[in-house]
C-alpha cells in the first residue's frame, strides 16, 4: 500500500473536492500543508485531521473554486513546502558556518 490515498468527492464537485490520506504522517505535515494551500486564490477550503492518535495517518481535505482540481493544489503545496524547507536548511547552514569559523 502506498503512503498516499485519494478519496473522491461527491458527483457534483467532481475533481474540485478531494480528501487525501497520508500514511505515517501527522500534525506536522498536515498543518504545514494546510497553511500553504489555504493561501492559494483558487482554494475554497483546506483542512486536515488526524482521525485517531493510535493510527499513523493524516487526512487532508481540499475544496477548490472555479473548476480547479484539488490534486493540483496538493502538488503545488508539496512543491512549495519543499522549497520552504530547502530555504530554511540553507539559511541554517550559512549561519552555522559563519558562527563556527
Q: 7-61: per-residue pLDDT in tens?
A: 866 666 788 999 999 999 999 999 999 999 999 999 999 999 999 988 889 999 9
- Which domains, ranges and CATH numbers included, belong to the chain? 4-99 (3.30.1360.10)
Whole-structure pTM value: 0.86
- 27-37 and 70-99 are packed helices; what angle lies between their axes, rounded to 10 degrees? 110
Amino acid at each position: 500500500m502506498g503512503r498516499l490515498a485519494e478519496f473522491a468527492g461527491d458527483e457534483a464537485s467532481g475533481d474540485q473536492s478531494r480528501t487525501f490520506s497520508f500514511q505515517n504522517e501527522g500534525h506536522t505535515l498536515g498543518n504545514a500543508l494546510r497553511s500553504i494551500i489555504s493561501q492559494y486564490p483558487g482554494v475554497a477550503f483546506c483542512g486536515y485531521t488526524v482521525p485517531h492518535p493510535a493510527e499513523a495517518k493524516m487526512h487532508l481535505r481540499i475544496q477548490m473554486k472555479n473548476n480547479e482540481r484539488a490534486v493540483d493544489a496538493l502538488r503545488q503545496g508539496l512543491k512549495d513546502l519543499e522549497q520552504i524547507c530547502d530555504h530554511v536548511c540553507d539559511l541554517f547552514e550559512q549561519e552555522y558556518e559563519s558562527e563556527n569559523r
